[in-house]
Amino acid sequence: MWDWLTSSTNSTKMAGQSAAAKLSFKILGWCMIVFGGLCGVLALIFTVVKNPRTAFKKTPRDVPPKCLQDSSLGSHEYVRANGIKFHYVCAGDKSKPLMLFLHGFPEFWFSWRYQMNEFSKDFRVVAIDMRGYGETERPPNKLDYTFSKLKQDIVELVPALGYSKCTLVSHDWGGVVAWRVLSRYPELIERFIVMNCPHPKVYAMKLAKDWKQLFMSWYIFMFQIPKLPELIISMNDFETMKGMFINGTKNPDNFPPEVLKAYLYTFAQPGALTAAINYYRCMFKTEKSKATDTTPPPKKIEVPCLVIWGDDDTALSHDMADMHEAVVANLTVKHIPNCSHWVQQDAPETVNQYMSEFLADSIASR
Would residue 280 show up in a list of annotated catalytic residues for this protein? yes
87 is catalytic: no
Q: 122, 172, 313, 346: which is the annotated catalytic residue?
A: 172
Residue 341 designated active-site = yes
Out of 144, 279, 341, 354, pick the active-site residue.
Answer: 341
Of 280, 324, 346, 354, which residue is the catalytic one? 280
SS3 per residue for the chain: CCHHHHCCCCCCCCCCCCHHHHHHHHHHHHHHHHHHHHHHHHHHHHHHHHCCCCCCCCCCCCCCCHHHHCHHHCEEEEEEECCEEEEEEEECCCCCCEEEEECCCCCCHHHHHHHHHHHCCCCEEEEECCCCCCCCCCCCCHHHHCHHHHHHHHHHHHHHCCCCCEEEEEECHHHHHHHHHHHHCHHHEEEEEEECCCCHHHHHHHHHHCCHHHHHCHHHHHCCCCCHHHHHHHHHHHHHHHHHHHCCCCCHHHCCHHHHHHHHHHHCCCCHHHHHHHHHHCCCCCCCCCHHHCCCCCCCECCCEEEEEECCCCCCCHHHHHHHHHCECCEEEEEECCCCCCHHHHCHHHHHHHHHHHHHHHHHCC
Q: Please identify every residue annotated as catalytic.
A: 172, 280, 341
